Structure 1
Amino acid sequence: MSRIAPSTPARVVTRALPQAVAAEWVKAWSVRSTWWCLACAVVLGVLAAATLAGANATDAVREGGAVRIPASEAVVSATSLLSLDAFGHLVVLPPGEVALDLLRTGVYFALVGVMTVGAGVAMRSAAGTLSVVFMLLMGLPLLLSMTGTGLAVEASLRMPMFAELAFMDSADDLTGGPIPYSAGEGLAWLLAWTAAAMAAGLTVLHRRDA
């Protein structure tokens, strides 16, 4: 009788990964917390959009004309279902730019999700993962930029927060001046940070579970 060669770890992972993803997908959509989180996200999104749209419409009334908002302002773009109709076309958002903005937003959230997975595998702690990801995305970039020193500011501009603003082609001026690189380079920095987080996670996984 011929012996069956044992499966290599790579083959085992290749077969097990789709099954694990399918199991996690079923688990995520079969618990109430997922639906509650989605419902809360929708409600908060609508309230935020209405608030921002109302504020921009108020500014338009004061200025005596329509206000054209760049669709690259990701948060303000959420007003495009609300501001055009509910506020008498005082706030204008170009549909083509909004579509591109939504696509970029989706790419950014996907990368942040993968980045968080890498950090979670490395940290092995929910609280630790949330703390690290928060500091990486917001806390550390803002702290570095507030120092005002050249090297610290340059480092902060290459972190995910400002890389995302560059990728979104945003006009937000959080550093006292425009972000000194293009949307393409912003995407490259986001990919680099995501790859670094996944590499850290894989390194810890191999060392602990080898």
Structure 2
Amino acid sequence: MFVQFTLVALAMLVITSEYASGGIRSTLQATPIRGRVIAAKALVVAPVMFAAGVLSGGVAAAVVYAALSTDLFGGYVTLPPAEVAVDLLRVGVFLALVSVTTLGVGTAVRSAAGTLTVVFMVLMGLPLMLLMTGSQVGVEVSLRMPLFAGLAFMGGTDDLTAGLIPYSAGEGLAWLLAWTAAAVAAGYAVLRRRDA
């Protein structure tokens, strides 16, 4: 859960660094159709972060395998290659979508600190606060936010309250895609209306 913020910080810089340096003016002069700017950035961010997610997941799987293979843990562990491959692909997709979501938020917010704050609250802060309220509505809303949608998509079932995530991996992916689309749409709306 916490490794994602390293990639979030990198994805955020794709747009916020241009606003900080003033380079966004040159970008928009070179490509005046603003939808193309955000689409091009998303088309670069998504595959790079997908690869980074698969790589970091592979390293984590190797470390866990090595640790669990020691005598301390009984010395016997198996990692079925097909299951590991599917898990790594899901981690890559999750991190790619979270990174594109970050790009959308960064385009709307235009500052690194603001983007990091908003993304942290959407990914971790707000879902956990809603869970802690204990209200049924708060829990239901929380379970549809990117944190739990991502956990469901990646095969997790625990909602951190000793309950189960009440939907499938496919629905988790749908919720992730909806959050990503909303963030990119918000970024596009701001980019289209405001001067650089």
Q: TM-score, normalised by structure 1?
A: 0.63
Q: Distance in 1 between matches of 2:157 and 2:182?
A: 28
Q: Who is 2:127 aligned against?
A: 141
Long gaps (5+) in structure 2: 1-30, 46-51
Q: How far apart are the structure 1 equivalents of 2:189 and 2:179?
A: 15
Q: Choose between structure 1 and 2: higher helix proportion.
A: 2
CA distance in 1, matches of 2:141, 2:177: 16
Spell out structure 1 runs of 4+ moving beyond 4 A: 12-15, 83-89
Q: 2:66 aligns with which of 79, 82, 85?
A: 82
Which secondary structure does the structure 2 equivalent of 1:104 belong to? Answer: helix
Contact 1:83/1:91, CA 8 A, preserved across alignment: no
Contact 1:144-1:155 at 8 Å conserved across structures: yes
Instruction: Tell me whether 1:101 sits opposite 2:83 in the alignment.
Output: no
| Deviation at residue 89 of structure 1 after TM alignment | 4.5
Between the aligned residues of both structures, percent identity stands at 63
1:121-132 equivalent positions in 2, closer than 5 A? 121-132=107-118
Q: CA RMSD in A?
A: 3.4
CA deviations 1:148-204 (Å, max 9, x no partner) are 100000000000000011101114341321100000000000000000000100010
TM-score when normalising by structure 2: 0.67
Give the Cα–Cα distance (whole angstroms) in 2 for the partners of residues 160 and 109 of structure 1.
11
Following the alignment from structure 1 to structure 2, what is the Cα–Cα distance between the partners of residues 163 and 170?
Answer: 9
Aligned positions, number: 155
Q: Which runs of 5+ in 1 are unaligned?
A: 1-7, 26-37, 50-76
Given the superposition, is the C-alpha separation of residues 176 and 98 from structure 1 closer, same or farther in structure 2, using an over 3 Å criterion? Answer: same
